[in-house]
Amino acid sequence: MASSTGDRSQAVRHGLRAKVLTLDGMNPRVRRVEYAVRGPIVQRALELEQELRQVIRANIGDAQAMGQRPITFLRQVLALCVNPDLLSSPNFPDDAKKRAERILQACGGHSLGAYSVSSGIQLIREDVARYIERRDGGIPADPNNVFLSTGASDAIVTVLKLLVAGEGHTRTGVLIPIPQYPLYSATLAELGAVQVDYYLDEERAWALDVAELHRALGQARDHCRPRALCVINPGNPTGQVQTRECIEAVIRFAFEERLFLLADEVYQDNVYAAGSQFHSFKKVLMEMGPPYAGQQELASFHSTSKGYMGECGFRGGYVEVVNMDAAVQQQMLKLMSVRLCPPVPGQALLDLVVSPPAPTDPSFAQFQAEKQAVLAELAAKAKLTEQVFNEAPGISCNPVQGAMYSFPRVQLPPRAVERAQELGLAPDMFFCLRLLEETGICVVPGSGFGQREGTYHFRMTILPPLEKLRLLLEKLSRFHAKFTLEYS
């Protein structure tokens, strides 16, 4: 309130009128949106960079920004698609050329520059369906249930949008994990849906406990109509990889409680821990048979941004919907059509991700080598991170079973907590800002993802090159020790 009056008088003083679009007059839901991954800490990092201070951006899951190389085959095919003159160049392998021609044939005007059908190029949707079938041991996938999207984020928002209805006590509630990837909270805020938190169990490597789902749901029914359950597997920021039993239990729960399941599986290629394995929700659902298989509504999401590809900038992704009402599926397509289509280069990239070189293809050897190298390095970095952090007193880090992040818990002395409160900051934000100022390391405070009251965390990526990562982890640990001493 005060600020707008101040604005008005300031405006008048400068001969300017009050604006049409002000903080007070804007969409209140948009005002409530927060997205910590690119939030205030990152803005501060930007300021420091502009002062020519060195900043290590360990805040965002962007592998290539941290030096990971793109997969050669992917970029070759894409370049051929972009500039088909190159099809006559001797410097590209035959299988890359074949792929490019195949993709271009499926494009309007044989060009990446044409709009595609709003659900994505049909050929690519078919390839995605085949990928899903192979991945899931032969369980059929229908290309008509596959919708390409502008990164997974786009499809997640679309599905959530469809689900939001009602008012007051009947307003749609959506269960999300705490800690969560803050796209979910941001989208729910924007849509004016009710966020229903269920806590992952830090004591048990961030396991998902169905009893906790029951607790959350029971309390939510008081004030909203819970209609959807979001699961991130492998988890972000937590990195846990759900067991098969857990997934079955979640599906049973969703079915009993009539919840639409959203399975965010963008890290399905990022599984490191021995003993951990990725089980797709779709596969488990189908193998559970009736009544679940034929009736439980499910949307599963994947992306080109993570895995071994790291092609974040291309914004490639898809959603597979299972057991969705046919008329609603049409509505979803309608909604997608307003934005015309997902970026076609991203669609092309996705095609290569879901149908990589076969063992008999000329590019296979190099492709495999590159892919394995990336994944092996990520696995090593996951282990290293867990190890170094657990050696530091006052920092404890659950095993990084998958994904691309560590989410260690940090002890913060009471005096530091007080100081943070004086400054109007969440204690872990205070810690992270100090870390940034003194070491240049940019990580995201746990408060941006959600955590149990009184606990503090931060999310750091495992993406810097191995030796650099080691140095960073040690630097961070030293900082934490110093910080603890300072505020004892």
Between 191 and 388, CB nearer to other proteins = 191
Token digits of residue 255:
């079915």
Between 83 and 368, CB nearer to other proteins = 83
- In this structure, what DSSP letter does residue 352 have? H
Smallest gap from residue 249 Cβ to other proteins (A): 19
Helix (H, G, I), strand (E, B) or coil at 315: coil
Smallest gap from residue 473 Cβ to other proteins (A): 21
Between 111 and 387, CB nearer to other proteins = 111
Between 109 and 454, CB nearer to other proteins = 109
Token digits of residue 351:
């095609």
Q: Tokens 């490597």 — which residue?
A: 205
Smallest gap from residue 273 Cβ to other proteins (A): 26
Between 12 and 358, CB nearer to other proteins = 12
Nearest CA to 241 out of 252, 232, 249 is that of 232
Smallest gap from residue 90 Cβ to other proteins (A): 11
Smallest gap from residue 222 Cβ to other proteins (A): 20
Element (H, E) at 150: strand 146-150
Residue 119 CA, distance from chain mean position: 21
Token digits of residue 258:
């009539």
Measure the CA–CA gap between 89 and 80, rounded to whole angstroms. Answer: 10
Smallest gap from residue 254 Cβ to other proteins (A): 9
Rounded (5°) CA angle 476-48-237: 45
- Cα atoms in the Cβ-side hemisphere of radius 13 Å centred on 251: 31
Q: Are 227 and 172 in contact (CB under 8 A)?
A: yes
Smallest gap from residue 14 Cβ to other proteins (A): 8
Between 9 and 421, CB nearer to other proteins = 9
Q: Are 332 and 158 in contact (CB under 8 A)?
A: yes
The length of the chain, given as a count of residues: 488
Between 73 and 206, CB nearer to other proteins = 73
